Chains A and B, each alone.
Chain A
Amino acid sequence: MSGPVTHADRFDGEFDAVLAGAQQGAAWAFERIFTALSPVVTGYLRMQGAREPDDLSSEVFVAVLRNVAGFVGDEAGFRSWVFTIAHRRLLDERRALGRRPVTAPLADDLELPAPDDVEATAERSLRTEWVRSLCDQLSPDQRDVLLLRLLGRLTVDEVATTLGKTSPAVKALQRRGFRAIGRLLSPEEVSL
């Protein structure tokens, strides 16, 4: 099993340079930001039941790239900002659709595998489906917190800001969320 992914990994330690380029409107910097963060953002949106995760992710990054000139902060703050936009976009979509998160099968939404990547894609699909089935058992607030912490790599305080909650409330939600997942996992073995 590979080691934990740190914030620096996404930009190979070059976040400051990438941010500066993006704030100048450089296409190469935009591409770096999109490449680094779009998979995690799309994964977040997919786990949250977004109807069209790829399209919604595009909307998020259009907003990010058009407004990056006004961002001030470090990589962690940038990540928090991006996920705040993603979460709000998600809420907007839910309001527009007037319904709860989609629990439809992921088959309609999975990426098409490259010809030489069928096996890897299929394995990733199975893992995604497994995670999705567990997350669907959580309350919406618990799911928000766990996904933002695990996938978004946001701190407790950043999650609190994104969700409009207090830090103690976020801690309580993540505690209850992990315990709920634990109860779901206890009667079965985890196979990787």
Chain B
Amino acid sequence: MSESALKAPARNEQGEPSRSFLQRLLQIDEIGVIGALVILIVLLSVTAGDKFLTTQNFINVSRQASYVAIMAVGMVFVIAMGDIDLSVGSIWMLSSVMMAIALRDNYHILIAVAVCMIVATVCGLVNGALSVALGIPTIIVTLGTLSLYRGLGLVVTNATPVSGYNLDTWFFQWIGGRDPVFGVWISVWAAIIVGIFGWILFNHTAFGRRVQAIGSNRQAALFSGIRIARTRIMVMTLMGFIVGIAAVVALAFNRNGSPTVGVGTELSVIAATIIGGTALSGGSGSVLGAILGALIIALIQNGLALLAVPPAWSTAVTGIVIIVAVTLDYFIKRRA
């Protein structure tokens, strides 16, 4: 037997097997989505460089991604728990039009914001409570509340946009504006702050661990004393609350309460979450990945517009790129 065969593997100071830089890189949970993002940026830089690689374009894209990114943070908890919420777009619409109505009726801005947050949170609570009370998956419940919440929004607005309030206020000028230092839209900062809190909650609290445990193995979670029903209600309520945050910053920017807001948004939010590495089967998730997933979706749309891809192709191309991004994430993780 040769000496080299008997030679022990190299170890670091802690006594652990040494890993190369590449191996360490592949161990990062979000490496798949980061890889997809890098490849997308490189591709767009090459094909649409002069229009893509501008500060203004990145500022635009970050804002376009921010609303989905905020909601995707909440969706991480829902999907990691093994559920899905299809009503997020409708909650967004209902809470934002209610806020707009409050503004139109001359309520103080803070009261209007509170109305938005309360409506959104209650919608989430109802989703969770119905799911627990009826003993049916949230995907089924939210299939119904998707129509219920949107319908309520249409009733209160008579299917017409709500406007006619003073736009020269700190809310629309500042919350709906850009920060004076970096020139980034406030909604992007909101996404970052929600992301930070979401990351801490998901990865460093008992609540986050319970969510993942339920999604990983419901029976085991039950036997270990985790109160599944209560956790489910809390997660769905949290989802509603986070949608409320997105609704507030979106209204500040868009300036009118439109009943068309949020149509199809749930698919973008779920796609962003899945692209970001949250397992559809539940048990694990990544808040950072979800935010990056939202950015990928926004970059795809941005690239298609900059490259003037014909409308008939853009929907198909969006789907293809998402599939490629998810596949890339899968293979990179498998290799890791």
State whether these chains interact: no
Q: Which residues of B are at the interface with A, using a C-beta cutoff of 8 A?
A: none
